[in-house]
Amino acid sequence: MVGGFINAAHFNGGVTTLSGIAEAGDTVTVSDGTHVTPATVSADGAWTAAISGLFNGQSYSYTATATDAAGNTATSAPFAFTVKTSTFESAITDAAVTGGYLNGAHFNGGSTTLSGKAEAGDTVTVSDGTHATVATVASDGSWTAVISGLGNGQRYSYTATALDAAGNTATSQPFAFTVKTSTSESAITDAAVIGGFINAAHFNAGTTTLSGKAEAGDTVIVSDGTHVTAATVATDGSWTAAISGLLNGQTYSYTATATDLAGNTATSAPFGFKVDTQPPSPTISTAGGEAIYPAVIISGTGEAGTLVQLYDGLTKIGAPVAVSGNGSWTETVTLVGTGSHAISALDTDAAGNTGKSASIVFSLDNQIVGNTNQSIISGTSANDHITVVPNNLIVNAGGGNDTITLTSGPSTQVHIVDGGAGTNTLDLSQISSAVTVDLKLGVASGSQVGTVLLSSIQNVVAGGGAEAIVGSSGANVFQAGSGMDRITGGGGADTFVFRPGFGNTTVTDFKVSGASHGTIEIDHSIFATWAALDAALADSKQGAVITVNAAESITLNGVTKAQLEANHLADFHFI
């Protein structure tokens, strides 16, 4: 009997033994007021009495009465006790533990509070088998125990043992949990997104698949802030999410959030991209035709900020060229092999969309280069580009539309040049000093070209010096050089060509109107429209002047601005 209780350990089937001491020779009876039990008295007066029929939960009170040989009696004070053979302990709980895990949100520096319910008056200890913690028990038997020193990644198992006043104990079922304070989520990827774009080739009717890597067992959702998509997660934590409803021209940003079994979450960095399915529409503005030199300058338009690659048939030529902010591009490429060359432009935008232009066709002249050991050079019946060096006395260009390029030599050299059939051009682009050319008289001269006798030459390309050029009575084409050229057409329907880098050129006899009116062809990179040119056109004492800058101007002697404005549709071509 402990503290007025008989507990389970001493219940003994409802039997207990009371004892006491009387005088030697006394008889003793023990009574609860209802049942009387004779005690067994030893010679020294010590007695015992076996009490049976006790029941759990009942309280009892006994007195012992001793009677001596003279008939005197003496009664003890009452001896009371309660039979209590059990207590109880409920299951342990912890509001911070979800699904068997204590997560980062509830980690609290490695501390958590376990709770449960015992009987009123019980004491409770909580133990993981190594460390025991005394719980705080309320008057109704509910208890809490603060557990500290928990480590991330560790698994714990606790039991609670209640001890009542009678000494009975009750132990809860084990309460196990794992501390897991974080999970992970890798960056989102999408093979269809290149350089931050989904292009037409990967548009897939507005559907794409995002992917990433979480921890095994995690659930993953992908969101753009408005729409949420549940990802499919493999056993190793890798996941995919199909995103639909994408629209061309729109920009999107997605994050992936992984949630592990403990309730920890991890969110990826935003993954942004733009849908661009519109291919560029490049054009080539340069006209095709005869190519005298293998190196040709080709210009066109494209989508600003993109790259244009030129092709000769199926073969790339030149390097990719960037399209400027105003949508224009220019590239110098070298044609390989005489004959026909179909040139196209492939424009690739930042998204990887491509657009191809229509082709233009160049026909590259045969390239014939003289050497100083040749006194006679002969061309072919096709279009030839003949380069003349010192000691090439006689040049017979032959048939076709030929170009004869003079190179620098001593002032004493002599060349006799016959262009032959076709429309032929004298090219002075390699000459830096002044040259005088008179197609009517059939002669050219200068310090670097010597004396050149000309026949069947219709056109002239000026060089870097101050050329004085006189045409024939027929239709001639004159391309201004970078010097201060003075050109006289000679009476035919002449064409005057101006490309970037020309100098301050004067045309002495430009015809504004009539059957043999003159034509000015000007590169579109200088002036793209008549309105732009007209804004640079003014009258002077000599005539109308078109001023590009201080180093580039065209003076048309004897012509007025008003005359040019009235006839500009016929007189000006932008190439």
Instruction: Report pLDDT digits (tens) over 122-133.
Output: 899 999 999 999
Stretch 128-147: mean pLDDT, rounded? 92
Query: Residue 347: phi, psi to the nearest 5?
Result: -105, 125
What is residue 90's predicted lDDT score, i.e. its pLDDT?
Answer: 66
Pairing of strands 450-455, 443-446: antiparallel
Residue 176 vs residues 158, 159, 182, 216: alpha-carbon distances, Å: 6, 9, 19, 21
Of the two residues 190 and 572, the one the predictor is more confident about is 572
- Within 10 angstroms of residue 73's Cβ, the number of other Cβ atoms is 11
7-16, 162-171, 198-207, 346-355: least confident range: 7-16
Question: Which of these, 85, 89, 62, 58, lies nearest to 75 by C-alpha position?
Answer: 62
Q: What is the DSSP letter of 105?
A: G
> So what's the pLDDT on residue 457?
97
| CATH number of the domain that residue 340 is part of | 2.60.40.10
Q: Among 14-23, 42-51, 124-133, 478-487, where is mean pLDDT lowest?
A: 14-23
pLDDT of residue 55: 75
The residue among 232, 275, 271, 233 whose CA lies nearest residue 255 is 271
In a domain? residue 235: yes
Residue 255 belongs to some domain of the structure: yes
Q: What is the mean pLDDT of the chain?
A: 91
Task: Tell me what percent of the residues of the chain surpass a pLDDT of 70.
Answer: 98
Residue 435 lies in a domain: yes
Please indicate, yes or no, whether residues 166 and 234 belong to a single structural domain of this protein.
no
User: Quick one: which H or E segment has residue 25?
Assistant: none
Residues 362-411 have pLDDT tens digits of: 999 999 999 999 999 999 999 999 999 999 999 999 999 999 999 999 99
Q: How many structural domains comprise the chain?
A: 5
pLDDT in tens, 190-210: 888 888 999 999 999 999 999
Instruction: Mention every residue, 6+ apart, whose C-beta is less than 8 A from residue 171.
Output: 89, 159, 160, 161, 162
288's CB contacts (< 8 A; 6+ apart) are: 343, 360, 361, 362
Select from 275, 309, 330 the last residue of a domain: 275
Confidence of residue 2 (pLDDT cuts 50, 70, 90): low
Q: Distance from first CA to last CA of the chain, Å, rounded? A: 121
Q: Phi/psi of residue 82, each to 5°? A: -125, 140
424 within domain boundaries = yes
Say if 501 falls within a structural domain: yes
Are 489 and 425 part of one and the same domain?
A: yes
Does 190 fall in a domain? no
What is the per-residue pLDDT for 413?
95
Average pLDDT over residues 525-551: 96
290 and 271 housed in the same domain: no
- Pairwise CA distance, residues 384 & 397, whole Å: 7
Whether 284 and 298 have beta carbons less than 8 Å apart is answered as yes
Model-wide pTM > 0.95: no
- Residues spanned by the domain of 53: 5-83
Is 534 part of any domain? yes
Strand ranges of the sheet holding 366-369, from the earlier edge strand across to the other edge: 366-369, 384-388, 403-406, 425-427, 459-461, 477-479, 495-498, 519-522, 572-574
Residue 163's pLDDT is 85
376 with 492, same domain? Answer: yes
Which of 101-110, 384-393, 521-530 bottoms out in mean pLDDT, i.e. has the lowest? Answer: 101-110
pLDDT in tens, 263-304: 888 999 999 999 999 999 999 999 999 888 899 999 999 999
pLDDT mean over 66-77: 88
User: CA 521, CA 337: separation in Å to the nearest integer?
Assistant: 28
Q: Are 341 and 441 in the same domain? A: no
- 41 and 108 assigned to the same domain: no
Residue 391 and residue 506 in one domain: yes
pLDDT value at residue 169: 82
Within 10 angstroms of residue 402's Cβ, the number of other Cβ atoms is 32
Q: Which of 83, 107, 132 is the last residue of a domain?
A: 83
In what helix (H) or strand (E) does residue 77 lie, and over which residues does it extend?
A: none
Q: Is the pLDDT of residue 46 over 70?
A: yes
Least confident of 189-203, 313-327, 503-517: 189-203
pLDDT tops 70 at residue 534: yes
Decide if pLDDT at 93 tops 90. no
Question: Region 23-40: what's the mean pLDDT?
Answer: 88
Task: Check whether residue 412 and residue 546 sit in a common domain.
Answer: yes
Confidence category of residue 417, pLDDT binned at 50, 70, 90: very high
Number of Cβ within a 10 Å radius of residue 141: 20
> What is the amino acid identity at position 159?
T
Question: Looking at the structure, do residues 432 and 307 belong to the same domain, yes or no?
Answer: no
Is residue 89 one of the residues assigned to a domain?
no
Q: How high is the pLDDT of residue 180?
A: 87
Residue where one domain finishes, among candidates 233, 255, 275: 275
- Tell whether 250 and 371 lie within a shared domain: no
pLDDT band at 171 (very low <50, low <70, confident <90, very high): confident
Task: Let me know whether 420 and 529 are in one domain.
Answer: yes
Are 39 and 57 in a shared domain? yes
CA distances in angstroms from 173 to 158, 170, 297, 311, 407, listed in the order given: 8, 10, 89, 80, 106
